[in-house]
Structure 1
């Protein structure tokens, strides 16, 4: 009889612990979970906290954005794109997400899609330094040096003090001079 009573008491204690845990979870705030995610350097912990926030509020824009960013940093760019698309469903005109999508496409070597994302941002804000710079990088990777130079030049018109862009532009000028062409082609070494 005592053994049965102990088992019943243990079951009741476990049940109360589960109920308390559920109540705590119900009262958690997605914003607080995002703050906690910002305090950890462990990407898996961040993802766990973002998922928890999204379980509480599936329309939490910042949770989708930050989860996408972390996934992209982990090399999971396809999953990042899915998060960015969810964020765009919530805020369709958000230019930052469109830039991040371009970055994710670039990581996936889908360069034309990356350029489309940057161009979409530049249609709305032609002075967006990040989009101009990233577009220049993608165009350079594609061997479209003239277009890359135009993107870097435009970025420097917006901010002539940006040392990184000036450095990239000078490096590209050296490459163009060495190859003797604005286009990277198989026969460019013969010019």
Structure 2
């Protein structure tokens, strides 16, 4: 769903969406591993990978963060570490710190669309909805088929009371994947909100039909 290796699953366990971490050897990790092996550092590569695996398996978030910091001490240019550290920070409510990690990751790979998606999620958690939408729009300019960004953009627009725009975003996501029952459920809930109000005059999208 997200380009260049960052894999994110959506779970709508409640009315709000929750993100679940799916840990895989990503494209960036493979590239980094090849670079280190070419430089004669396979042991360092294995150490980094093992640290990340151990961090994923750790149940305590503080333990995870310590392991990520240890990995970054070994190699501050290891992209996956910044991504995973940022994700954990966002999950525990330290979204501003998460954004700092994502910005650092973008310095390493400025074209990484997955990082921009993660930034959008962090801004959403900070209730900086306009900046969140800007992040998703950046992704959609490059990849108009990114269903995650369409879904998240719709969710943020809904939070802003821009129900017509949100509905169009959900519809676009369902055009890409008509079988996505989670997004369809979100769309139906929004329709219920619209019908309950009977009008969209409270929304900038009062002309939605």
Flag whether TM exceeds 0.5 (same fold): yes
- Correspondences of 1:79-158 after superposition (within 5 Å): 79-158=97-176
- Correspondences of 1:164-183 after superposition (within 5 Å): 164-183=182-201
Helix, strand or coil: the match of 1:119? Answer: helix
Partners of 1:181 and 1:34 in 2: CA distance: 50
- CA shift at 1:183, angstroms? 5.0
Structure-2-length-normalised TM-score: 0.74
- CA shift at 1:180, angstroms? 2.3
Structure-1-length-normalised TM-score: 0.80
Q: CA RMSD in A?
A: 1.6
Contact 1:77/1:108 (CA < 8 Å) preserved in 2?
yes
Helix, strand or coil: the match of 1:161? Answer: coil
1:84-125 Cα offsets, whole Å, 9 max, x none, are: 000111111111110000000000000000000000001111
Partners of 1:183 and 1:150 in 2: CA distance: 17
Partners of 2:199 and 2:111 in 1: CA distance: 38
Higher relative contact order, chain-length normalized (CA < 8 Å, sep 6+): 2
Helix, strand or coil: the match of 1:29? Answer: helix
Where has structure 1 moved over 4 Å in runs of 4 or more? none
Aligned length in residues: 161
Helix, strand or coil: the match of 1:172? Answer: helix
The structure number with the bigger radius of gyration is: 1
Instruction: Point out the structure with the larger helix share.
Output: 1
In the alignment, what sits opposite 2:55? 37
- CA shift at 1:127, angstroms? 1.0
Helix, strand or coil: the match of 2:187? Answer: helix
1:1-29 Cα offsets, whole Å, 9 max, x none, are: xxxxxxxxxxxxxxxxxxxxxxxxx9682
- CA shift at 1:35, angstroms? 1.3
Partners of 1:170 and 1:39 in 2: CA distance: 36
1:69 aligns with 2:104: no
